[in-house]
Structure 1
């Protein structure tokens, strides 16, 4: 069923929904951007339609709801520990198609990774209902069509905002009672069919080619360009790296809490081990790891899709204007060089 609602009608439904649901959506924070007099769009709880940012892409992904940048896992004393409380409400999260696809990758890592389930992610994920935000045009850094993440039918509801009207398609039977008596319409979400930015990911099916690619000189470019700030991975909708820290409350080191905080494979020291061992000491090494993980390793492991969903947030957030699409295109050229060199050697 599809409905057309005025903002005031929608806000009345929001008020009713909030008795059972937390409503999360992209929200614009005025003047809170990284440059003076700029805004930032990120996920937050919303109480009315007017708070939702429909016209701009969020600077940070929907994963912030399920895996916050920092979250308490459990509290401990000398004799016992207690897990942090979970929300008592269900979660209604407004997402664009790329973030819906990113959620699948998050589930692979947190729930299907070698038989291990992350209980903290699972307890949140089980409460989620998705409200799909229609995305017909995209933005200049998007390449979701190339990654096959521009469309989805996995949602409880879909929404389109038009001036002072919301058009909604309701698929979840649990949500239908909230819309009784509302005016019906024939709305179905439409999807972007072509991005300005395109990408063709090279497939690496030869171990020898992969080994040579890892030592290709193209990665050394990033020793000078990348500042290892980690902004790209924090804004990435599929990255899952984190670290844990014990926060001690007072002089008694046996009382405190354990927190999980987002981390980044792009930051120097991420792979440091006892004894001074570091597996990826240079920015180029770290960039190689990230790119191959997104565009080869993940798919090779799980046998389905590449990890990147083409949201383009990493491009938007990079202070050095490093483009992931340009990097993958360079990688494709490097693979062609390696394969051509191998053939030439075979002819000799």
Structure 2
């Protein structure tokens, strides 16, 4: 029998075959979501795509590479039906009846906390469609000790996470689990005991220091700084960075009218991007950000100033680096923030 640690947690070592049997039992209660490789589905010829999907076996989980798309698409997919309507009534779309067990890296766990702040704690408003999924979630943290050349989670303080239901280390022929949620413990009965606790990356290949904007006057001058004009010639306003971002929450809604009956249809919610021209357009044609540089400024300041200024805790960016990976123009958010820091030094007269 496994011996329980003093803190009530349990550690286990299981083979992939044993893990598959555990997954089979878990699937009776949970949908299991994890990064999965889709061969030949990448954006370039003969490349793969790694994104979140339901898995049935441990071998289906892609742990050796960072996923191209974030874990957020499980709870807030790129497109989803909200409700169906006729001229007389509407019916809400159905959510899964099962609980959700989602494999995430530490940065994505932090990103989910930011998502919760937007969808569930934003001025007292709760998004029904996010809430009904979020309340079903248990997280399995995927140990991440090396990272990739576009990660900067250490700089953002998101390289470590807690509060997970379980943590896992993938090895050759075996998996190590740290099970903290007692709802999951019965699935590991009779498995070999192990004292596994996850390790974390301590240093990335790239880093940044988010500059402090001391007052509104500096912020106003920063918004008109010429550094943003560079992106008028570089950014193509495709929105790939924000779709791949693990913390972006913008969306648009569209009513789809069925051809068979113009009084019947559905309302869909689709991911939107502040980087795409026309995103900020209002009734009457009024718009606020007319150039790619204006839109880049808006995104960067939101991630590295506005969110923290509003919620008084952390910057919105979690340093996953997916925006760098997905940008067809090779724009680095790290380089952009470092340029912003230099611009602030120029404004405040502290440039060395």
Q: Residue 81 of structure 2 corresponds to which residue in structure 1? A: 72
- Paired with 1:141 and 1:200, the residues of 2 have a C-alpha distance of 15
Which residues in structure 2 correspond to 1:88-167 (within 5 Å)? Answer: 88-167=97-176
Which residues in structure 2 correspond to 1:272-283 (within 5 Å)? Answer: 272-283=281-292
Q: Residue 212 of structure 1 corresponds to which residue in structure 2? A: 221
RMSD: 1.0
What is the TM-score normalised by the length of structure 2?
0.96
Q: Residue 4 of structure 2 corresponds to which residue in structure 1? A: none
Q: Alignment partner of 1:167: what SS?
A: strand
Q: Alignment partner of 1:104: what SS?
A: helix
Q: Deviations over 1:17-45 (max 9, x none)?
A: 00000000000111110000101100000
Q: Residue 83 of structure 1 corresponds to which residue in structure 2? A: 92
Q: Residue 68 of structure 2 corresponds to which residue in structure 1? A: 59
Q: Residue 240 of structure 2 corresponds to which residue in structure 1? A: 231
- Paired with 1:182 and 1:139, the residues of 2 have a C-alpha distance of 33
Q: Residue 16 of structure 1 corresponds to which residue in structure 2? A: 25
- Paired with 1:250 and 1:153, the residues of 2 have a C-alpha distance of 49
Stretches of structure 2 lacking an aligned partner (at least 5 in a row): 1-9
- Paired with 1:130 and 1:161, the residues of 2 have a C-alpha distance of 16
- Paired with 1:276 and 1:153, the residues of 2 have a C-alpha distance of 46
- Paired with 2:91 and 2:319, the residues of 1 have a C-alpha distance of 39
Q: Residue 324 of structure 1 corresponds to which residue in structure 2? A: 333
- Paired with 1:249 and 1:164, the residues of 2 have a C-alpha distance of 51
Q: Residue 346 of structure 1 corresponds to which residue in structure 2? A: none
- Paired with 2:336 and 2:103, the residues of 1 have a C-alpha distance of 31
What is the TM-score normalised by the length of structure 1?
0.97
**TM-superposed deviation, 1:100:** 0.2
**TM-superposed deviation, 1:251:** 4.9
Question: Is 2:212 the partner of 1:203?
Answer: yes
- Paired with 2:307 and 2:63, the residues of 1 have a C-alpha distance of 31
Q: Alignment partner of 1:275: what SS?
A: helix
**TM-superposed deviation, 1:249:** 1.1
Q: Alignment partner of 1:150: what SS?
A: coil
Q: Alignment partner of 2:285: what SS?
A: coil
How many pairs align?
342
Question: Is 2:264 the partner of 1:255?
Answer: yes
Q: Residue 192 of structure 2 corresponds to which residue in structure 1? A: 183
